[in-house]
Amino acid sequence: MSKDVKTGRILAVDDNEDILFALKLLLKQHVEVIDTLTNPEQIPAAMQRMQYDVILLDMNFTKDAISGQEGFDWLSKILELDPEAVVVFITAYGDAEKAVKAIKSGATDFVLKPWQNEKLLATISASVKLRRSRQEADSLRTRQRGISAVYDMPYQDFIGASEPMQKVFATIQKVARTDASVLILGENGTGKELVARALHRDSPRKDEVFIAVDLGSIAETLFESELFGHEKGAFTDAKTEKQGRFEIANGGTLFLDEIGNLSPTLQSKLLTVIERREVTRVGSNKPIPVDVRLICATNNDIYDMVSKNSFRQDLLYRINTVEIHLPPLRDRLDDLPLLTNHFLKIYTKKYKKTVRAISAAAMKKLQQYPWPGNVRELQHAIERAVIMSEGDILEPDDFLLSSVSGKAGELELETYNLEEIEKAVILKVLKQYQGNVSQAAAELGLTRTSLYRRMEKYGL
């Protein structure tokens, strides 16, 4: 511990005042707070007054001189008051059996009297770091629950009354409470991440983290570092160690979107991690066990890819214990009024507009449109219409929709707006290549990153 930076709040409990004096003399140079008690009965009141990082606890008080049972009893009471408490036993009567029992009972460490100053300081420093890491983990779980409360309200934008959607909801209810791997299949914009979040929210892991990873946006050279983590110095830019997404999601749910875009080499690496249930950081040879519920998604024809040997069949078996097929919006047009009214309420409130409804003519226009971008495209169309509207009813002219005709190579536009034309061309090419971003980017003469930026811009 450094004398320059004082860190940690310490409570020392011992019936020997000389011991407490020595501890206070040593620790006051290194820690923010060092409080002492001779009577363990005062521990609950002290813990109410302050949140201590470390409690140094004597094992023997007045009842018994050597067994240490009083220490174990007080350890139990401390952990009842604060399950995340970090307790270090300190005693003159130590042996291996007692040390093992202390750790099993929930103590963090075991220090013998008389102590070596440097060793005691190192123990306290490590214990303070442990306490802070526990607090950070607890904060993360609390934040995740808060985020879930806001963004994972019953299916939020994931709504529908049509028969295809009712089948999807029924499958989610059956599968969510298991740890089965799920593969979600569907076109861009159908709501694959919403399905993954619904599965997580209704699972036994709901209070743990949900981590979503867009595999299509991760460069191949960074794949291992992003998913499995790296050690400091593992490569040029690795200035600090980094946890991968698997480690971060440990205990919770990991959602891997666009899994169909992985190269055969990366598929093999992912399969190894899934089978062994452990990751090895880049620059390390030490495997780290991970426990995640895996949910994957793709807009590609994954079975066609398997038949063409561009996707590993053994990996497909690992990720699709259960499959959920999301219907495109054109196959669930019965849900269009429900969805449009839902988005209308959101955006009239967001932009403080007085739009009350969508006219019958406008609804007919929406129902005749093929929605290649699915629900996501509908959402952005409603948002734009609300922003641009000047009345309290949305009319057909409030919706500028681009459509691709059935004839190959022919593009039919309802606008000469260059952005709308670009959007329509991108939609046409994505449809032509069944959502494969790499092939679409090559056809358009763009890099994958450039195409992703445009897709994000247009809500595709």
**259 and 408 belong to one structural domain:** no
Most confident of 84-98, 323-337, 421-435: 323-337
Q: Is 297 left (phi over 0), alpha (psi -120 to 50) or beta?
A: beta
| One domain for residues 46 and 164 | no
Q: What's the pLDDT band for 334 if we cut at 50, 70, 90?
A: very high
The answer to whether residue 141 is domain-embedded is no
Lowest mean pLDDT among 50-54, 208-212, 234-238, 339-343: 234-238
**Which residue segment(s) compose the domain that 45 sits in?**
9-136
- Is the predicted pLDDT of residue 404 greater than 50, yes or no? no
How far apart are the C-alpha atoms of 289 and 276, rounded to whole Å? Answer: 8
| 249 and 129 within one domain | no
Write the pLDDT tens digit of every residue in 367-380: 999 898 899 899 99
- Does the residue 243 lie in any domain? yes
**Whether residues 279 and 334 fall in one domain:** no
**Secondary-structure breakdown of the chain: helix, strand, coil percentages, each rounded to the nearest 5:** 50, 15, 35
DSSP three-state, residue 299: coil
Mean pLDDT (whole number) for 86-114:
77
Sign of CA dihedral 59, 60, 65, 70: negative
Q: Which whole-number Å values give the CA distances from 84 to 51, 54, 74, 136, in the listed order? A: 11, 10, 15, 11
Spatial separation of the C-alpha atoms in residues 460 and 458, rounded to whole Å = 6
pLDDT at 105: 77
| 436 and 380 fall within a common domain | yes
pTM: 0.60
- Quote the number of domains for the chain: 3
Task: For residue range 12-37, list pLDDT tens digits in order.
Answer: 999 889 999 999 999 988 999 999 99
Q: Report pLDDT digits (tens) over 7-17.
A: 889 999 998 89
| pLDDT score recorded for residue 218 | 86
Say yes or no: 117 and 217 in one domain.
no
Are 184 and 313 within one domain? yes
221, two tokens? 């050279």
**Residue 364 belongs to a domain with what CATH number?**
1.10.8.60
How far apart are the C-alpha atoms of 365 and 396, rounded to whole Å? 7
CATH of the domain at 18: 3.40.50.2300
Is there a contact between 85 and 78 (Cβ–Cβ < 8 Å)?
Answer: yes
Rounded to whole angstroms, how far apart are CA atoms 381 and 347?
11
| DSSP calls for 10-64 | EEEE-S-HHHHHHHHHHHTTT-SEEEEES-GGGHHHHHHH---SEEEEES--SS-
Q: Per the domain annotation, does 149 fall within a domain?
A: no
